Each structure stands twice: as C-alpha cells, then as structure tokens.
Amino acid sequence: MDIKEYGWDEHFENEWRKNSNDCLFPGRIIADYGQKLRVVSELGELTVNRPLNKHGNFVQPAVGDWVALEDSAENQLVRMRFVLPRKSKFSRLAAGIEVKEQVVAANVDTVFLIQSLNRDFNLRRLERYLVSAWESGALPVVVLSKSDLSDNVADKIAAVYSTAPGVEVHAISCVTGEGIEGLKKYFTKGKTVALLGSSGVGKSTLVNTLAGKEIFKTQAIRESDSRGRHTTTHREIHLLPEGGMILDTPGMRELSLWEADTGMEVMFGDIEELTMKCRFNDCRHRSEPGCAVKEALKTGELDIKRWENWVKLKKEQEYLEGRKDVKYLLQQKKRGKQLAKFQKNL
C-alpha cells in the first residue's frame, strides 16, 4: 500500500527521521472507534489499541494523525509508540466537567464548513466555526448544501461572503448535482478534506456523492422541520477514487472553542482595531464618552449581531482561560505533593 496516497509527504518524512528508529514503521489513523483505532500503513490496514495515558503526558491520537507503530513478534500485536508532530488540528473543548481538549481532526489540508440552505443556515454559528477553522491551520471553505430547497441562494451566498471575506463559498445540491464539480479541485493525491457541521446538514450524503457509492447510510429529511437525521457515529477517513481523502465527522450540537487567538484575529480583526480607537483604554463600550464601538454601531459601520457574537466569544475564551489556569495550578499542587512524598521516602 502506498502511504503517499494517504498524505505521507516530505514534512512527515523529516519528522520521522528525527523521532523514529529501525524498529518502528509509520501509519495514519483513518478511523476512531473509541478504544480501537484503524490505521493504514505499508502493511495494509491494521487495528490497534488506543494507548493508555497514565501520566497525562502522551499526545492523544486522533483521526488523521501519523503515528509510529511497533510490530511485536512475541504476541503478534502492533503497538502505537508516539504521535508525529501535526501540521494542523481542529480542536474543541471536550464535553463534560473536565477542562480538556478534544482533537476532532488532525493533519487536514482543507475544512469544509457545511451549512444547509433550508433551516440550518446561521451566520453567527458559521463565524464560530470559521474562528476554529482558522485556528486549526487548515484552509476553511464554506459549503452551503441543499440548494434545491432554497429560493434565495444568491442572497445567502452574498451574506456569507460579507461575513467571511476571502473564504471560498460553494452552494451545492447532492440531489441535482449542482456545485459538486466545483468541490473536486480540493481533492488531489495526498490531500485531506474534513467535513464539519451540525447534524443533518448532508455531510454523509456529500461523502457518498463524491465517492460515487454509498459509504454511509443516509436518512430522509423530516418533513416537520426540514432537517436530515444524524447518521455518522464516528470519525473516519475515506480515500476517493480520483485521489484525495475525505474525513467525515459526527454532527456537532455545539462547538465550544478550545483556542481562538489566531481565529479571532482573522475573523474579527476589524473589531479588535475598533476597540483600540476608544478614548479610554478600559472602555467597556457602554456609556463611556469617545467610544469608537458605539459610534460604529450607531452609523451602521459595525453590525450589532456581529458585535454581540464577538462579545460572546471573548467572554467564553476568558472564562475558559480561567478554568485552564485553575486546572494547571491544581496539577502543579498535586505534583508538588507527590515530589514531597517521594523525597520524604528517600
């Protein structure tokens, strides 16, 4: 099997030379089943166990990662030794109480941010996805699905362009075939495209359309709310017949940002600059005189909904950074106690 078809390139070759030895061989994770991972290598497809992370210092592998594998002749098991440095990663705050990063996709070249043109279309949600996509290091592309169900496609495309200048936008229909040909330019040998979006926007249907066969079972749109039904249950990479790979992911009910500095600068750089023009450095943009933000909102230079979304995202990030700091301090305290106990025993 030629691993170059799965994205092995000069970057990973160089990282491999710096980190590996003759006992190891490379593989790419193409599916995540929880404790089991499917990996493609020069030996073919393999199933390996997710490594235990007893000490919390192991980079948890994700779909798209290149990993070092070791073939154990004793028990005929293949073990994963480490994860190669990533070129890109799309992350979010994991669900639950613990402050933890969840890597949704790694080493992706392009991210298709998918919204359907019926009832899923939401510019504020799209801004959130774009922040995360720019932060990932991959190229974001907006794909507006189910164009056959919308009467004002042109208006919605224009709205996306105004929200995300410089980002390519494609309106498609897997029913009529409209716009599908325009997506094929992103799929070349060794390139990976990840599909991200809410449940029911047509990600699995798009995978089937591009692959030319039914890889995933899809379900009909509900008449009650015009939404599709969620079908994808795990993350998985598929090699397309004409080259390139597509990574489908389960629909996200909510995308909580993990890191957003670069993404916020790209998406809301104009607002950041605007806040610096206020008369007072500590301006809260409420009733203070000389507030550039208030003036821009008054004249219509700044859209009120976009401003409110920026405020919301900033507050989320400040709250998350506070939780990260608390977690770090607790970890340091725990390590200090362990070290003191170790020294005492000595």
Break the chain into its structural domains and give their ranges. 3-83, 89-248, 261-342
pLDDT at 156 > cutoff 90? yes
Could you say which of 3.40.50.2300, 2.60.40.1190, 3.40.1530.20, 3.40.50.300 is the CATH number of the domain covering 89-248? 3.40.50.300
Q: How is residue 204 written in tokens?
A: 């699995």
Say yes or no: do domains 3-83 and 261-342 share a fold: no
Which pLDDT tens digit goes with each residue over 86-122?
Answer: 999 999 888 778 888 889 999 999 999 999 998 789 9
User: At residue 76, does pLDDT exceed 70?
Assistant: no
Q: What is the pLDDT of residue 226?
A: 46
Mean pLDDT of all residues in the chain?
86
- Please tell me the pTM assigned to this model: 0.83
User: Could you tell me which CATH number the domain at 3-83 has?
Assistant: 2.40.50.140
Q: φ, ψ for residue 199 (rounded to 5)?
A: -65, 140
Instruction: Give the model's pLDDT for residue 101.
Output: 86
Spatial distance between the Cα atoms of 146 and 9, rounded to a whole number of angstroms: 35
Q: What SS3 class is residue 131?
A: helix
Query: 261-342 architecture in CATH?
Result: Orthogonal Bundle (1.10)
Rounded distance between C-alpha atoms, residue 7 and residue 25, angstroms: 15
Region of poorest pLDDT, from 38-47, 176-185, 259-268: 259-268
Unique residue bearing structure tokens 């495309």: 157
Residue 96 near residue 90, CB atoms below 8 Å = no
| The pLDDT of residue 219 is above 80 | no
How many helices (H) and strands (E) in the chain?
Answer: 8, 13
Residue 238 has pLDDT above 50, yes or no: yes
